Every structure is written in C-alpha cells, then in structure tokens.
C-alpha cells in the first residue's frame, strides 16, 4: 500500500509539471518572421544626372518633285477643241499645247468691235449737233465716255481670245493630262500639269512635325537617300519653308533642293532624309540602364531615398548612343540607380555599392 501511494504521488507531480510548462509556453508571444524581401538589402549602383546640351537629329520621308511645277489652264471657259500633247511629252517654252473652240469667243470679239464702231458714230453725231447748238456739252461728254467703255470691252474680248489657248510657260515635261478634246472646261480649271526638265529643278518635299519645323531655317543641310540608289547619299539644303501646315496631314511640307550628282530622277521617287546639327537644346542626361518601364516618351527611374528607393516618372526627349535625354521629371545632380534596378520595388531595401 505504501509503494502504490508513492507511485500515485510521483505521477501527480509529473502531470502538474507538464501542465505548468504548457501554460507557460502558451503565454509566450511567438517571434514574428518578416518576409525575406524586406530584410535583404539589394546591392545597387548609382550615377548622377548631368545637364547637357545636345541636338536631336530630324528624320523624315518625302518624295521627289519639281521646283518649277506648273498647272496649266485656260483663262476663259469653253469646249476644248484640240489637245496637242500627251502625258510624258517633252515640250519647249511657248509651244502650243491645247486650244478652245473659238466660236463663242470670236463672236464676243466681233460684238465688241461693232460696239466700238457704234460708239464712234454716236460721238461724231453728238459733236456735230453740239457745233450747231442742238446738243448739249453733257451729251458730247456721255458719248465720249461710251466710246471709251466700248474700246475697253474690245480689249477684254481680244485678251480672252489670246488666252483661249495653252502654251508651255517653260521647257519641260507634261506630267498629267487632266482633260480631253470635247470636254467643257471652266476658267482656271487645270488641263495639264508639267514641270521643268532641268536637273537643277528637282526638289524633295517632306512633311515635318511642328517640333522639327520650328528648328529649321533656310540653308540647313540634310542628307538624302533613295531606294533607287542604295548605299549612296545625296546632299540637300532647305530651300523653302511653308507658312502653314497641310490641313489634311497636319505636317509642314518643307522643300529640300539637292544635287542629283548626274543621276536620273523622276517625279514621285521616294526619299529618306536626315538633318543633323540643328539648334541645340538643354537636356538631362542619364544612361540607358537607368530607364525602366518605358512607354514612348514616358518612363521611370529609381532614385535612392535613404536605404529605400523612390520610383520617379520622367519624360524622354530622345536617345543618343547609350544616353537618354530627359526633358522633365528630375533635377540636375539627382542620383539614379543604373545597376540592380530590375530587382527593385518601392518597398525594397538597398545598399549602394561603389
């Protein structure tokens, strides 16, 4: 009996000790385990944003045209009687290209001539009656005015008759024939398009954005390349700047005169142009590796902020070689991360490495 009592006491003590230790363990607060990403320092390298002056090259596409292009038309309306040239024809200066049917126009000249004769007779009669004191001075003056008006009408009719035909204003080629014999044309309606045949008359017309247009001036040098002549460049200069943009495209049609170098060119040939050395602009320069999440002109950079980072939006002007030109978003002297940015978030801890 005594042995059994000792065993029971021993078991009771053991159970009490287990319950005591379990109670103590429940009262202890468990240690918080932080995510590895917030504990680990990511090594990064930084560079300083520099202020620099640089010029962005202008690139555009255009087509070959003639500096002496002309749209030829009749001054008066009527039925086209004869078309004397076809598209692609070479013409000489002053060559007759087309004529109107002169029936109506010639009748107008004849009518004006008869009007002059009648006005002369009326004036002569008024002068005779004035000498006989039958007509007044005012009647003589009115007759004189009527004669002058009749002569002016005759001059107008004769002028219209002389412009009832089309003659080539320059030597060149017919680009397009827009109307045919027997068609009714109105005054000023184009019948032909032509251009000069001289090699010095070729130009390239290219549409430029307003940002590029405002940086140009007459005489700026450009380099042209053509699909027809691969691996060969042609020197050109800005020869004409427009006063307004094309209402259809919104671009400014700038003309570039170029040296043909003895090569054959024709209307409409495709050209690519590049202009270097334009007016310089002031930009902030950072390495390409500093840019993250680029979308067109919008991008971001990481800027150190103590042992953390800040994601800063920037505006990209252009990229030249291994440098990105920033137009806005950061200040000169700011440090940006150039190595290790691919592993960063705005919650990351960093360690700047030398």
> What is the per-residue pLDDT for 2?
43
pLDDT tens per residue across span 189-237: 999 988 876 767 789 999 988 877 877 888 888 999 998 898 899 999 9
Reported as type and span, the H/E element at residue 65 is strand 58-66
Tokens, residue 167: 């003659």
> What is the per-residue pLDDT for 85?
92
Judged against a pLDDT cut of 70, whether residue 343 lies above it is answered with yes
pLDDT band at 98, cuts 50/70/90? very high
Boundaries of every domain in the chain:
42-54+281-352, 59-68+198-275, 103-163
pLDDT band at 110, cuts 50/70/90? very high
Instruction: Give the DSSP letter of residue 30.
Output: P
* Residue 158, burial from CB neighbour count under 10 angstroms (0-12, 13-18, 19+): middle
> What is the per-residue pLDDT for 4?
47
The phi, psi pair for 322, rounded to 5°, reads -105, 10
CA distance 312 to 304: 10
Measure CA 173 to chain center: 29
Strand partners, 337: 46
Average pLDDT over residues 306-316: 85
Judged against a pLDDT cut of 70, whether residue 29 lies above it is answered with no
> What is the per-residue pLDDT for 11?
47
Count other C-beta atoms under 10 Å from residue 178's C-beta. Answer: 16
pLDDT band at 36, cuts 50/70/90? very low
CA distance 258 to 228: 15
Does the pTM of the predicted model rise above 0.85? no
Give 114's contacts (C-beta < 8 A, 6+ positions apart).
none
Domain covering 103-163: architecture: Orthogonal Bundle (1.10)
pLDDT tens per residue across span 64-97: 988 778 889 988 888 999 999 998 888 998 899 9
> What is the per-residue pLDDT for 200?
73
Measure CA 103 to chain center: 49
> What is the per-residue pLDDT for 80?
92
pLDDT band at 52, cuts 50/70/90? confident
Judged against a pLDDT cut of 90, whether residue 265 lies above it is answered with no
CA distance 333 to 314: 15
Q: Does domain 42-54+281-352 have CATH number 2.40.420.20?
A: yes
Which of 8-12, 20-24, 42-46, 73-77 reaches the highest mean pLDDT? 73-77
Among 236, 223, 234, which Cα is nearest to 262's? Answer: 234
Reported as type and span, the H/E element at residue 140 is helix 137-162
Domain covering 59-68+198-275: architecture: Beta Barrel (2.40)
Reported as type and span, the H/E element at residue 38 is helix 36-39
Instruction: Lowest mean pLDDT of 4-8, 232-236, 342-346, name the range.
Output: 4-8
Judged against a pLDDT cut of 60, whether residue 167 lies above it is answered with yes
Among 238, 241, 239, 268, which Cα is nearest to 252's? Answer: 241
The phi, psi pair for 8, rounded to 5°, reads -65, -40
Among 213, 251, 220, which Cα is nearest to 238's? Answer: 220
> What is the per-residue pLDDT for 37?
47
Q: What is the CA radius of gyration of the chain?
A: 45
Question: DSSP characters for 77-135?
Answer: -EEEEEE---TT-EE-TT-EEEEE--HHHHHHHHHHHHHHHHHHHHHHHHHHHHHTTSS
Mean pLDDT estimate for the chain: 81
């Amino acid at each position: 009996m005594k042995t059994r009592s000792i065993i029971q006491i021993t078991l009771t003590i053991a159970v009490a000790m287990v319950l005591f230790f379990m109670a103590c363990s429940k009262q202890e607060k468990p240690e918080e385990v932080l995510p590895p990403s917030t504990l680990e320092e990511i090594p990064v390298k930084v560079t300083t944003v520099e202020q620099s002056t640089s010029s962005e090259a202008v690139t555009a596409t255009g087509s070959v045209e003639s500096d002496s292009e002309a749209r030829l038309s009749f001054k008066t309306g009527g039925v086209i009687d004869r078309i004397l040239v076809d598209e692609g024809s070479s013409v000489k200066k002053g060559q007759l290209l087309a004529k109107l049917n002169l029936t109506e126009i010639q009748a107008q000249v004849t009518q004006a001539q008869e009007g002059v004769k009648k006005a002369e007779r009326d004036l002569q009669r008024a002068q005779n009656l004035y000498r006989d004191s039958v007509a007044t001075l005012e009647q003589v003056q009115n007759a004189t005015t009527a004669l002058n008006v009749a002569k002016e009408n005759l001059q107008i009719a004769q002028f219209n008759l002389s412009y009832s035909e089309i003659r080539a204003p320059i030597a060149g080629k017919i680009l397009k024939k827009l109307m045919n014999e027997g068609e009714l044309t109105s005054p000023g309606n184009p019948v032909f398009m032509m251009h000069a045949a001289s090699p010095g008359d070729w130009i390239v017309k290219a549409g430029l954005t307003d940002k590029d247009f405002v940086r140009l001036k007459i005489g700026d040098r450009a380099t042209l390349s053509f699909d027809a002549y691969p691996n060969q460049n042609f020197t050109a200069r800005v020869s004409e700047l427009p006063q307004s943009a094309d209402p259809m495209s919104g671009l400014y049609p700038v003309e570039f005169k170029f040296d043909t170098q003895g090569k054959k060119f024709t209307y409409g040939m495709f050209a690519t142009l590049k202009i270097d050395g334009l007016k310089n602009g002031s930009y902030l320069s950072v390495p390409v590796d500093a840019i993250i999440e680029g979308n067109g002109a919008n991008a971001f950079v990481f800027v150190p902020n103590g042992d953390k980072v800040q994601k800063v939006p920037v505006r990209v002007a252009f990229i030249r070689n291994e440098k990105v030109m920033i137009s806005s978003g950061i200040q000169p002297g700011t440090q940006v991360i150039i190595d290790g940015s691919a592993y960063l978030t705005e919650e990351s801890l960093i360690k700047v490495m030398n």
